[in-house]
Amino acid sequence: MGLAAAYHAASRGHDVTVLEAGPVPGGMAAHFDFGGVSLERFYHFICRADTPTFALLDELGIADTLHWRPTSMGYFADGRLYPWGDPVSLLTFPKVSLWARLRYGVFALVSTRRETWPSLEHRTAREWIARWVGEKAYRTLWEPLFRLKFYEHADHVSAAWIWTRIKRIGRSRRSMFQEELGYLDGGSETLVEALHRGIERHGGSVRMREPVQRVVVEDGRVVGVDTPSGRIAADAVILTVPTPLVSGMVPDLPADWKARYDGIENIGVCCLVFKLRRSISPHFWINISDPAIAIPGLVEFSNLRPMDDTIVFVPYYMPVTHPKWAWTDDALLAEAFGFIKRINPAITDADLVTAQVSRLTHAQPVCGPDFAATIPPVQTPIAGLQIADTSFYYPEDRGISESVRFGRMLADHLGDAA
């Protein structure tokens, strides 16, 4: 979002400086060298409905790097991997009744075709889904996934938020029987580097390892930012850090505004990535509902973006207060690799090439019912200061397309912010 906002601002003649706390640009889309493969720390994919992404790729001259690939989903339940995500797989899935399967199919179809969300805003996902598919089917198919991602928040996730996830994937299909997702040659780094080049081409700059320590305010308007290298003068600031960091960075905000930022809860993630010599399954993603496996799913990324090795992401979402957050990387990797071997017993220790863990404290905002009313306006009471993070995408979830859309909007409003 920050890079997209900076690119659009620079292309319109603003003098732009991007301050990035990390060693590389891109935030959650940033890449690292994974045993000779340029790979993103947190997996991304593109859906057919991601029109802001398509427009930006075209504007940057890299539309030809986007490719579409048939993908599929599996469901691992009680020791067995089942196909999932199409009418035939649904009708043959044995873990719920035929009546529940039919109700589930209608639920998925209606959710995919639905266009508006206000009537869902006051309801929990648990209440909404259980009403459509039945309580038993909810407990079998959905409750384990929510429990292992949101823990104590599992019963209070917004129905509007989960609907947008169902809709986005449901509309990314070649047909009723075939899901289709997109990837970029070289991964998300291709877009990140193109934005970086675009910012510099228009006279802007991107500074790495230069975190913002404080947004400086005088007489009710922003005048700059303090960093470890000194003060940078500015007449407009777009702050895209996670909302829990805002109060510390902008101490001049009114107390009631700070409370709104502080009140947005986040779940952390330990995102594990494995390079294997053997594929786990033909599926891009596998949902998991198995009492012996303490993760809600995994993503075999190489079943989307072609690579020489099998690349598998295993995201451990959890509150940072959870005991497992304090586990060492080696402990997490050992447990997760044991789960992988349980899903595909043909995989052995000899199939593991390398693995790595990336951690993010503020990874997933917890969006409950009526969440929209809790989000502060993008334009703050401080003239020239706009603030937004991924929670502002609500009811949409985090993703490159929403980041791109929001970044353009923030640049559009620079005149208003001033």
| Strand 266-276, strand 310-318: pairing | antiparallel
Q: What Rg, from alpha-carbon coordinates, does the chain have? A: 22
Q: Which residues contact 219 (CB under 8 A, 6 or more apart)?
A: none
Q: What's the whole-model pTM score?
A: 0.94
What strand order describes the sheet that includes 214-218? 214-218, 221-227, 230-233
What are the extents of the domains in the chain?
Answer: 2-44+187-264+370-417, 85-166, 265-365
> What are the start-end ranges of the H helices in 125-245?
125-133, 135-141, 143-150, 159-170, 189-201
pLDDT in tens, the chain (418 residues): 999 999 999 999 999 999 999 999 988 888 998 988 889 999 999 999 999 999 999 999 999 999 999 999 999 999 999 999 999 999 999 999 999 999 999 999 999 999 999 999 999 999 999 999 999 999 999 999 999 999 999 999 999 999 999 999 999 999 989 999 999 999 999 999 999 999 999 999 999 999 999 999 999 999 999 999 999 999 999 999 999 999 999 999 999 999 999 999 999 999 999 999 999 999 999 999 999 999 999 999 999 999 999 999 999 999 999 999 999 999 999 999 999 999 999 999 999 999 999 999 999 999 999 999 999 999 999 999 999 999 999 999 999 999 999 999 999 999 754 4
In residues, how long is the chain?
Answer: 418
Distance CA 364, CA 389 (A): 11
pLDDT value of residue 36: 86
CB neighbourhood size of 380 (10 A): 24
The residue assigned the tokens 């702050």 is 239
Q: Which residues contact 311 (CB under 8 A, 6 or more apart)?
A: 34, 37, 39, 273, 274, 275, 276, 300, 301, 302, 305
Written out in words, the top-level CATH class of the domain with range 265-365 is: alpha beta
Distance CA 352, CA 221 (A): 54
Distance CA 410, CA 380 (A): 12
pLDDT value of residue 388: 97
Query: 218-247 burial string, b = 16+ CB within 10 Å, else e?
Result: eeeebebbebeeeebebebbbbbbbbbbbb
Q: Is the peptide bond preceding residue 381 cis, with omega within 30 degrees of 0?
A: no
| Two structure tokens written together for 159 | 């129905």
DSSP-based helix, strand, coil % in the chain, nearest 5: 40, 25, 35
Q: Which CATH superfamily is domain 2-44+187-264+370-417 in?
A: FAD/NAD(P)-binding domain (3.50.50.60)
Q: Rounded to 5 degrees, what angle do the CA atoms 255, 258, 260 make?
A: 115
| Contact criterion met (CB below 8 Å) for 225 and 231 | yes
| Two structure tokens written together for 231 | 């003060």
The residue assigned the tokens 């959870």 is 322
Which residues sit opposite 205 in a β-bridge?
17
pLDDT value of residue 29: 87
CA dihedral 360, 362, 368, 373 (to 10 degrees): -150
Which residues sit opposite 11 in a β-bridge?
none
The residue assigned the tokens 């991924």 is 390
> What sign has the CA pseudo-torsion 54, 56, 58, 60?
negative
Eight-class DSSP state of 253: S
Q: Rounded to 5 degrees, what angle do the CA atoms 96, 101, 102 make?
A: 150
Distance CA 215, CA 271 (A): 31
> What sign has the CA pseudo-torsion 48, 52, 53, 59?
positive
